[in-house]
Amino acid sequence: MTSFVKPTEAYRQGQRTLLREYYTAPEIYGEEMERIFCRRWLCAGRAAELADPGDFVVRTVAGESLIVVRGQDGAVRAFYNVCRHRGTRLCEEARGRFSETIQCPYHAWTYTLDGTLIGAPHMGDVEGFDKRDYPLHAVAVATWEGFLFLNLAREPEPFERAFAPVLERFSRFNLATLRSARRIEYDVQANWKLLFQNFSECLHCPVIHPGLAKLTPYTSGANDLAEGPYLGGYMVITKEGGSLTMSGRACGAPVGELPAEDLNRVYFYSIFPNMLLSLHPDYVMFHTLWPDGPRRTAITCEWLFNPESFEHSGFDPDDAVRFWDETNRQDWHICELAQAGITSRAYEPGPYSPREGISAAWDREFLRALGRAR
């Protein structure tokens, strides 16, 4: 939600918002799924959600159902939720635990948690059949700072290369060790790009978020990532030792051994194409965005705290959760209004101001990813 940026960093004179069809056209949505969501690394939540062997979650990416599971060897793997026999969906539940195998509910083809086919009834009579030829179709998996990432590309860009600009950038926040306190899921009737553009500026904050504006001035701070797939920077917390909570006070132990300047800042970054990362002194919030057509986006928001916070009797994560749940809903509502307005034939692309430079930079990255660079 940073808004201050030097013109030479992200703002380009004359840049305008995207054409209407980018928010409404099914053809463009399909192109986005193929060229972006089926090729880029996507945040799929926290590795800690798969605490024990057999734990699994099912994620839907670009219309594809994927099983993400922790194996008996402790490794996390992902597979298309498709049996190799006749294509039946293997798993209906959103999350749960497999015993030791994954079995198709149709004809009982059975796979180990590493995707190997070990049971195929009556296939022994089929000439040339070899179970080794029919493992589950795998999807690339990577972990970064405790987060899980998936990539559907046949030959994905190596994660370390793709994330090189931010690979070690947030290490002082000890993200890998943080523990989840709450998770809220939202259903927003707006295009996924509007949500990123909204997150990327705070020019709207005094109007839409009066509570937020009291705790951090919308003109404060600066951006330190102003071009490319990773964008954002910091804003200043008005109250020394405070945080973005209902009370205005920090509600947990510091997430790490932060330098003094970070104790009075909140950092906001967009991680293209489906993650929003918000780093506070006392907690970290992240969103994952899952487009479902050109006019709907499912969003998961989660709050992470220092494990030591959970040991304190007065620990109240809801101080932060209620603050951001209220702020989130304000954002989702205004994005839905934006979607409704953009759908009108009267809509025309409007000019960006210097305080919307990161939103404009996000548009440029999106167009580059789609092969339509400005």
- Give the per-residue SS3 of 184-248: EEEEECCCHHHHHHHHCCCCCHHHHCHHHHHHCCCCCCEEEECCCCEEEEEEECCCCCECCCCCC
- The amino acid at residue 322 is R
- What is the pLDDT, as a whole number, of residue 8? 40
Give, for all 374 residues of the chain, the pLDDT tens digit: 554 444 345 677 889 999 999 999 999 999 999 999 999 999 999 999 999 999 999 999 999 999 999 999 999 999 999 999 999 999 999 999 999 999 999 999 999 999 999 999 999 999 999 999 999 999 999 999 999 999 999 999 999 999 999 999 999 999 999 999 999 999 999 999 999 999 999 999 999 999 999 999 999 999 999 999 999 999 999 999 999 999 999 999 999 999 999 999 999 999 999 999 999 999 999 999 999 999 999 999 999 999 999 999 999 999 999 999 999 999 999 999 999 999 999 999 999 999 999 999 999 999 999 999 76
Domains of the chain in start order, with CATH, are: 21-36+174-369 (3.90.380.10), 42-160 (2.102.10.10)
Q: What is the pLDDT of residue 374?
A: 62
* Nearest Cα to Cα of residue 16 among 280, 363, 352, 272: 352
Which one-letter amino acid corresponds to residue 172?
Answer: R
User: Encoding tokens for residue 54?
Assistant: 């057999």
Provide CB contacts within 8 A for 77, sequence distance 6+.
68, 69, 71, 113, 114, 115, 138, 141
DSSP state of 352: P
128: left (phi over 0), alpha (psi -120 to 50) or beta: left
Give residue 38's pLDDT: 98
Helix (H) or strand (E) segment spanning residue 22: helix 21-24
**Cβ pair 33, 60 in contact under 8 A:** no
Can you give the length of the chain in residues?
Answer: 374
Contact present, 212 and 320 (Cβ < 8 Å): no
Rounded to whole angstroms, how far apart are CA atoms 193 and 274? 10
Q: What local confidence, expressed as pLDDT, does residue 116 receive? A: 98
pTM: 0.95
